[in-house]
Amino acid sequence: MAARITLLDEARIGLRSLLDRVEDIAAPTVRLGVTGLSRAGKTVFTTALVHALIRGGRLPVFEPANSGRIAGADLKPQPDDAVPRFAYEDHLAQIITQRQWPASTTRISELRLAIRYAPRRGGMRTLTLDLVDYPGEWLLDLPLLDMSFADFSRNSLDLARDPARAAMSAPFLAALAATDPASAENETQARALAARFTAYLAACRGERVAMSLLPPGRFLMPGDLEGSPALTFAPLDLSGETAPKAGSLGAMMARRFEAYKNAVVRPFFREHFARLDRQIVLVDALSALNAGPAALADLERALDSILTAFRLGRNNIASALFRPRIERVLFAATKADHLHQTSHDRLEAILQRLVDRALLRAKAEGALFDVAALAAVRATREASVNRGGTLIPAIVGTPEAGQSAGGQRFDGLAEVGVFPGELPASPDALFAADGGFIGLASGDDADSDFRFLRFRPPGGIGAGAALPHIRLDRALQFLLGDRLA
Amino acid sequence: MVEQRGRRPEIFQLDDGGLTLAPLEPVVDERALPVAAPPPARSRFGISLGGLFWTALGGLVSLGTGLAISRLIEDLFARAEWLGYAGLGFAALLAVALVAILTREAMGLARLSSLDSLRQQSADALARDDRPDAEAVARALLALAKETPQLARARGELSTHLGAIIDGADLIRVTERTLMGPLDAQARAMVSDAAKRVSVVTAVSPRAAVDLIFVLYTAVTLTRRLCELYGGRPGFLGMVRLTRHVLAHLAVTGGMAAGDSLVQQILGHGIAARLSARLGEGVVNGLLTARLGLAAIAVTRPMPFAALPAPRLSDVAAGLIRKAADEAGEPQPGKRRAGGAEGT
């Protein structure tokens, strides 16, 4: 992969990080990347984190806050003027007053916080915290840098022909079968094919299948690049090893694939990803459990791919000066409030198992990794239900309107108690080769092993009050504790 | 797979009779909690002014000593060659002895620290009922007990139990009962003897200065012997640290001990004082020594008192109080308990 990061890029990254280090001397800065595949809860996490730092709150595990050493935190103008600002105030208002989750992250955004704190030795310092919130799908693009168009086509089509995705990919594959890569280039045909491809990727994200590994990421969140040639390509069935003829459809697609890498992937890598100091990767393991074994396996592949991206960041270290390393990575299973707290350890074990393969490879890099089950905003309460003498640990919350479970449709107003299913004591049981459990993807709702509903944010939080959370303090301690020592 | 599946997902209505809402309590990971906020450092530069002063002074004194020795040897050489060589030889011996002493001190200190941490570990293992930790503690104590010949039998007993006990807390308790039991009895006897000796010497000593010195001497010896009994080997520095710990412990437990035995002390003193002032002083000094001994036991014992009862003042000062009472020729409240403690 190293070869594909050009020398020029390398020089620009080096210069940039040198500048960052110089700034660091004047004002110590931490760049914390918040990422996760879509619907993992990035926006909510960032909002809750900022709120917790500004407003304070109950953070017993976050030592600097708990011992009273943090004097306060303020929002500051962000450093990069070209990057959208994270709309913290809007998101917070939406959670508190409208009881709705903020819209999902479709692009990168930044927010700068200045934390005034007293170091253990006394005195007063300011730590600048730059939060960089970006879609995890973009990380899945980083491995593309390593691929030629032929590799990309082979990988994508292998994924598309996977039985778990067959239903979604059928229209695209049918269109593909009718296409000859050697035919003359044709914009109409390219656009039709790209549209089918995009539709297939979008369909894979539905609740019932919940696939994760869907590169190229910008197809699902095009932003202002929508309709540009760089986003109008699709994998082709390239037979043989020979490069497509000039002027053919294949050559056009290959050219656009390269353009995608140059216009989308490389700038993101250079401008944002390569500059991060800390990273939290939010993982929505519960959606995958909801959907079924195929989604879980897909999530594992996607996390694997994300970890490869981190390796990339650390493989070409010339020195800490020219190449900042990501020192700490936290993998967080979000939406822990959808489970009774007695199951949190099991959720953590599942996440550990998901990232295990990837961590093994990354272990030698010297960065710190941790795994936690958390809920940035806790939407439920706990309860126990007595059923003939056995106490069932359940959670109580308001499900979002439009979902149904157990033969009941929710209106988004009534509170219900939910027992979402029992996570296995050993995560390996879920990864059994014959499909360790039954999810929504396999058809009948009544048959599935897990049913995690989406809950609305909790009601009754005042504008100035602290948000309830689960282990947000632990995440803060891991990510920032040492820098506030 | 299906037959192995756990409970199925289920939806409950809030008006369900069996549903009990839990109080809205934050989820807190006890194990992730910071142990305690570390105390603020005294100086911003990492070294205190006092430290700086002593470091500098120590450096100057060592340089001065070194210079004086090298001058002396040069002078000796100037006078006669053989004198010079003799001086050189003594200097070398001095250096070797110094290194040996320092090594011993360092080892003594390290050993004390390891005993302290062992005590902490066993308290932790007891609190958390942690089997692997408990086993580690038990093995460490077994290794420590190898150097105590009178524990050979207890050691054998414990080694056979080690694999058979499942609960961590139980393992700690069994270890304490087997290994610490015999040592506790000895320690109690030591403290009791020292207290008696002090009270007698105080009662018969001609001058206050003499018994002051004797009390100090006994206290230091007692502390050292207790420490050796429980497996420590304190050198000079180790003794300094140990004494500090004992005094600190005394300060902390003084208040608690008051509830247990103040009445007894005052009463005992009162009776004795009526008899004779010297005898009364003797009893008070003896009680003081006994209490010091108890504090020393608490800080030198490598395990906390969990399965076995901690010795009380009445246990170790029994003879003393009885003696005072006997000599006063009248019954006093400590007697009944004292008689009970004699059997141990």
**Rounded (10°) angle between helices B49-79 and B81-128:** 150
Say what the pLDDT of residue B258 is. Answer: 47
Judged by DSSP in three states, A206 sits in: coil
End-to-end C-alpha distance for chain B, whole angstroms? 62
Taking 80 as the threshold, does the pLDDT of residue A50 lie above it? yes
Q: Between B145 and A240, whose confidence is greater?
A: B145
- β-sheet with A381-387: strand ranges across: B10-13, A416-419, A390-397, A381-387, B19-21
Q: Give the span between the Cα atoms of A413 and A407, in whole angstroms.
A: 17
- B46: contact with A, CB 8 A cutoff: yes
Radius of gyration for chain B, computed over Cα atoms and rounded to the nearest angstrom: 29
Residue among A341, A387, A451 minimizing CB distance to B18: A387
Measured between beta carbons, which residues in chain A are less than 8 angstroms from residue B38? 120
Indicate the SS3 state at residue B116.
helix
B28 touches chain A (CB under 8 A): yes
Report chain A residues whose CB lies below 8 A from the CB of B21: 381-383, 396
- The predicted structure's pLDDT at residue B176: 82
Tell which wins on pLDDT, B251 or B176.
B176
CATH topology of domain A2-134+272-378+465-484: Rossmann fold (3.40.50)
B329 touches chain A (CB under 8 A): no
- Domains of chain A, by residue range, sit at 2-134+272-378+465-484, 148-262
Condensed to tens digits (0 to 9), the pLDDT of residues A90-107 reads 999 999 888 899 987 778
Characterize B33-61 residue by residue with b for buried, 16 or more Cβ atoms within 10 angstroms of its Cβ, and e for exposed. eeeeeeeeeeeeeeeeeeeeeeeeeeeee
Instruction: Give the DSSP letter string of A285-325.
Output: HHHHHHH-HHHHHHHHHHHHHHHHHHHHHHHT-S-TTTS--
β-bridge partners, A149: none
Using an 8 Å CB-CB cutoff, list chain B residues near A450: 9
- Comparing C-alpha atoms, which of A256, A277, A311 is closest to residue A2? A311
Rounded mean pLDDT, A426-448: 75
**What's the pLDDT band for B298 if we cut at 50, 70, 90?**
confident
What is the per-residue pLDDT across A297-326, written as a single tens digit (0 to 9) for each?
888 888 888 777 765 444 344 444 555 567
B36 touches chain A (CB under 8 A): no
| Chain A residue nearest residue B19, CA to CA | A385
Contact at 8 Å (CB) between B128 and B141?
no
Q: Confirm whether pTM is higher than 0.90.
A: no
Query: A29-36 and A328-333 as β-strands: parallel, antiparallel, unpaired?
Result: unpaired
- Chain B partners within 8 Å of A467 (Cβ): none
Chain B partners of A385 at a C-beta cutoff of 8 Å?
Answer: 12, 16, 18-20
A386 interaction partners in chain B (CB closer than 8 Å): 18-20
**Out of A120, A123, A421, closest to residue B8 by CB:** A421
The C-alpha atoms of residue B2 and residue A436 are separated, in whole angstroms, by 9
Nearest-CA residue of chain B relative to A344? B27
Query: In this complex, do B12 and A385 lie within 8 Å of one another by their Cβ atoms?
Result: yes
- What would the mean pLDDT of A111-118 be, rounded to a whole number? 92
Both tokens assigned to B121:
């570990």
Q: Compute how many other C-beta atoms are within 10 angstroms of the C-beta atom of residue A412.
A: 14
Q: What is the pLDDT of residue B61?
A: 96
Question: How far apart are the CA of B240 and the nearest CA of chain A, in angstroms?
Answer: 29
Min Cα distance A367 → chain B (Å) is: 20
List the single best residue of A381, A404, A455 to mutate versus B (max B Cβ within 10 A).
A381
For residue A387, the chain B residues in CB contact (below 8 A) are 18
Supply the mean pLDDT for chain A. Answer: 83
Q: Which residue has the higher pLDDT, A385 or B135?
A: A385
Residue B24: which of A381, A422, A450 has the nearest Cβ?
A381
Question: What CA–CA distance (Å, rounded) separates A446 from A229?
Answer: 45
**CA of B287 to nearest chain A CA: how many angstroms apart?**
43
| Furthest-apart CA atoms within chain A: distance in Å | 75
**What confidence tens digit (pLDDT) does each residue in A195-207 have?**
999 999 888 887 7
Give Dmax (Cα) for chain B: 107
Asked if B329 and B256 count as a contact pair (C-beta separation under 8 A), the reply is: no
Distance CA A385, CA A340 (A): 12
Chain-wide mean pLDDT for chain B? 75
* List of chain A residues whose C-beta atoms are within 8 Å of the C-beta of residue B27: 341, 344, 378, 470-471
Q: Which of A123, A381, A470 is opposite residue B22, by nearest beta carbon?
A: A381
Judged by a CB distance cut-off of 8 A, whether residue B12 touches chain A is yes
For residue B311, which phi and psi values (nearest 5 degrees)?
-65, 140
- Please tell me whether residue A56 adopts helix, strand or coil conformation: coil
Q: What share of chain A is helix, strand, coil (3-state, %, to 5)?
A: 45, 15, 40
Structure confidence by residue, pLDDT tens digits, A210-261? 888 878 888 888 877 888 888 888 898 887 656 778 888 888 999 999 999 8
Residue B306 to chain A, least CA–CA distance (Å): 30
* CA A278 to chain CA mean position, Å: 15
State which residue of chain B sits closest to A374, comparing Cα positions: B27
Q: Is pLDDT above 80 for B150?
A: no
DSSP of A380-447, one letter per residue? -EEEEEEETTEEEEEEEE-BPTT-EETTEE--SSS-EEEE-----SSGGGGG-TTTSS--GGGS-GGG
Nearest of A350, A311, A346 to residue A331 by alpha carbon: A350
Q: Is the peptide bond before A216 cis (omega within 30 degrees of 0)?
A: yes
Number of Cβ atoms within 10 Å of the Cβ of A91: 20
Q: Each residue of A318-365: pLDDT tens digit?
A: 444 555 567 788 899 999 999 988 888 899 899 988 888 767 766 666
Return the bridge partners of A113, or none. A75, A129
DSSP per-residue string spanning B6-23: -PPPEEEETT-TTEEEPP
- Chain A positions touching B7 (Cβ under 8 A) are 392, 419, 421-422
User: Is a pLDDT exceeding 90 seen at residue B250?
Assistant: no
Span A465-481, mean pLDDT? 89
pLDDT of A128 > 90? The answer is: yes
Closest by alpha carbon to A379, among A396, A403, A393? A396
ipTM of the complex: 0.72
Shortest Cα–Cα distance, B33 to chain A (Å)? 5
Chain A within 8 Å of B6 (Cβ-Cβ)? Answer: yes
Q: What is the pLDDT of residues B203-247, one digit of tens each?
A: 777 777 777 788 888 888 888 888 888 877 777 888 888 888 777
Residues of A in contact with B20 (CB under 8 A): 383-386
More confident residue, A430 or B129: A430
CB-nearest partner of B7 from A61, A382, A422? A422
Distance, CA of B289 to CA of B297 (rounded, Å): 12
**Higher confidence at residue B307 or residue A271?**
A271
| E strands in A191-275 | none
Grade residue B75 by pLDDT with cuts at 50, 70 and 90.
Answer: very high
Are the Cβ atoms of A422 and B1 closer than 8 angstroms?
A: no
From residue A415, alpha-carbon distances to A102, A399, A404, A410, A483 in Å are 21, 7, 13, 9, 41
Given its phi and psi angles, is residue A483 left (phi above 0), alpha (psi -120 to 50 degrees) or beta? alpha
Give the residues across from B182 on adjacent strands.
Answer: none
**Which residue's structure tokens are 């990273």?**
A279
User: Tokens 């050796």 — which residue?
Assistant: B228
- Find out whether A260 and A140 touch, Cβ atoms under 8 Å: no
**B30 contacts on A by Cβ (under 8 Å):** none
Structure tokens at B267: 């009463």
